[in-house]
Amino acid sequence: MDQLRLSVNELAHLAPELTLVISAIVLSLIDLILPKQVSRNLLGWLSLAGVVLAAVFVGMLMGRNEPIILLNESYRIDDFANLFKLFFLAGTGLIIFMSIGSVKEPDIPHVGELYYLFLPATLGAMVMASSGDLITLFVGLELLSITSYILVGMRKFQLKSNEAAFKYVVLGGISSAFILYGMSFLFGLAGTTNISAINAALLENLSTFKTLVYLSFFLMLAGFGFKIAAAPFHTWAPDVYQGAPTPITAYLAIVSKGAGFAILFRVVYSIFYGVGNPDVPYFVGDVFLSLSVLAAVAMIVGNTMALKQRNVKRMLALSGVANAGYLLVPIAAQFSIFHYTNFTEMFFYLIAYLFMNLGAMAVLMAVGEAAGSDDLKSFGGLYHRAPWTAAAMVILVLSLSGIPITGGFFGKLYILLGTLELKNYWLAIIMIVTSVMSFYYYFGFIRQMFMRSTDPAKYIRIPVPLGITIWISVFATVLMGLFPQYIIRHIEQVFSLVQDFFIR
């Protein structure tokens, strides 16, 4: 029992998580006592302050020679987790910031709740990234999921929002059941929920229980496939993205998806990687072949279905399905003495995806508010109404489609080179072909903004935080395209394959 108790010094290592917990509780109490006539933007600024403070604490925990192990090895604070935590906090902070002054009470009742509900959701994502135990993993997953269900249904007086929330709850519950069922097989085989102990048990028992190990892997892969919206587990994404408020859509597309990739990477390489013996030599190959096929299906289905979409949120949802495929490719590429940059490839593109997707969502918030619609035609004549915003959207679209010189281009290029290095030529060909396919629907934005006319009276008012978010995203995308080597070098310096990732 003493191993499950935390000393004061150990609690200090949980400062980022505790900051979010305390901030969420305090802000909910402030919201209750704050007079109705007082703007809830105050809660937005306080939520943002809590996120920034948590990020500072994460930064203070980075760069250690050894990971910090807490709660009988069920919670790991290593730089793999710390990098993802900074990603989650950066995404959450920017989403909260762009919402201040843009989200109003008539559209979303109880706006204050919108701001501070991001905090427990992000806490769940952070717990997932640091999980060294299946129980801890599932607790973090459900904290993120349940809070996300509430956020999606914030516009409770709108039918589309209610429909989206209902679909998300039902399908999310089913996916969680798949993950839990898969975990139960691992627990039954290993007699423990500790991830490193499970890996050791599978090494010994794979030949005896190979059917159950396969079943466990595919059940968990299906559940995680839902969380990252990878085809064929993506059918919820277009409806949920369309029905949810735009800040929530951005959160699901960036933070929630990133959390899914964090834990998928951890589970694949800490539980299933290296599992095999002379009796069953093909298991690891089957695992990574399955991931490769899932990546290929996501890229093909996402880009193909996006071609006919005219609603921007649905288009970005299907674009996210395709991007889930691109992000799965580094996970599907095994670590070896010839190729060990899998994590760097995935994380670099994930950062690029954060900024280009967030920037596009921010522009959509401004344009959608002016047009009263999320259809692609609402971007018609944007160059004449808001030329600088149109210029920003052009850069973001170029990055999303993978055109030089942007962060999105180098992210895809880095993944592609890693795939070619391992001679997965068929997967590389699918990456190239589907990226070319995406030009059609991404360049639809440029066609609308510069080649279509609209009512010039539809003035676009961009609140200052929203405008700043757009240009932060644009500058970050351009800088990642101009100086990718500095970011890649920093990720490789921080991330340690042995100390910060493999749980042994």
Model confidence at 277: pLDDT above 60? no
Q: Of 331, 269, 256, whose CA–CA distance to 87 is shortest?
A: 256
Question: Three-state DSSP class for 124?
Answer: helix
Model confidence at 393: pLDDT above 80? yes
Q: Max Cα separation, the chain?
A: 73
Per-residue pLDDT at 313: 93
Q: What is the mean pLDDT of residues 251-260?
A: 95
Q: What is the mean pLDDT of residues 54-72?
A: 87
Per-residue pLDDT at 109: 78
| pLDDT digits 0-9 by tens, 404-434 | 889 999 999 999 998 988 888 999 999 999 9
Q: What is the mean pLDDT of residues 226-239?
A: 92
Q: Of 401, 409, 205, 169, whose CA–CA distance to 303 is shortest?
A: 401
Is residue 499 very low, low, confident or very high in pLDDT (cuts 50, 70, 90)? low
- DSSP structure class, residue 499: T
11 with 71: CB under 8 angstroms?
no
Per-residue pLDDT at 318: 94
316 with 445: CB under 8 angstroms?
no
Is residue 1 very low, low, confident or very high in pLDDT (cuts 50, 70, 90)? very low
Model confidence at 4: pLDDT above 60? no
Structure tokens at 126: 């952070």
Per-residue pLDDT at 230: 93
Window from 340-349, 456-465, 488-497 with minimum mean pLDDT: 456-465
Q: Count Cα neighbours of 168 within 13 Å in the Cβ-side half-sphere.
A: 29
| Owner of token pair 């030529």 | 425
Q: What is the mean pLDDT of residues 118-125?
A: 96
Per-residue pLDDT at 386: 86
Please report, for residues 233, 290, 303, 437, the alpha-carbon distance to residue 432 in angstroms, rounded to integers and kept in the order given. 23, 20, 12, 9
Q: What is the mean pLDDT of residues 494-500?
A: 73
| pLDDT digits 0-9 by tens, 310-343 | 999 999 999 999 999 999 999 988 776 667 788 8
Structure tokens at 219: 């059940």
- DSSP structure class, residue 378: G
Model confidence at 473: pLDDT above 90? yes
- Identify the residue with better confidence: 421 or 224: 224
Per-residue pLDDT at 372: 77
Is residue 494 very low, low, confident or very high in pLDDT (cuts 50, 70, 90)? confident
Is residue 98 very low, low, confident or very high in pLDDT (cuts 50, 70, 90)? very high
Model confidence at 173: pLDDT above 70? yes
Model confidence at 301: pLDDT above 60? yes
Q: What is the mean pLDDT of residues 182-205?
A: 87
Model confidence at 464: pLDDT above 70? yes
* CA–CA distance, 223 with 227 (Å, rounded to integer): 7
- DSSP structure class, residue 158: -
Per-residue pLDDT at 41: 85
Per-residue pLDDT at 338: 67
Model confidence at 376: pLDDT above 80? yes
Is residue 396 very low, low, confident or very high in pLDDT (cuts 50, 70, 90)? very high
- DSSP structure class, residue 78: -
Is residue 353 very low, low, confident or very high in pLDDT (cuts 50, 70, 90)? very high
Question: Three-state DSSP class for 69?
Answer: strand
Q: What value does the mean pLDDT of the chain take?
A: 88
Model confidence at 191: pLDDT above 80? yes
Per-residue pLDDT at 199: 83
| Owner of token pair 């600024």 | 45
Please report, for residues 8, 127, 131, 193, the alpha-carbon distance to residue 1 in angstroms, rounded to integers and kept in the order given. 17, 21, 19, 16
Per-residue pLDDT at 462: 87
Window from 22-31, 46-55, 145-154, 264-273 with minimum mean pLDDT: 264-273
Percentage with pLDDT > 70 across the chain: 93
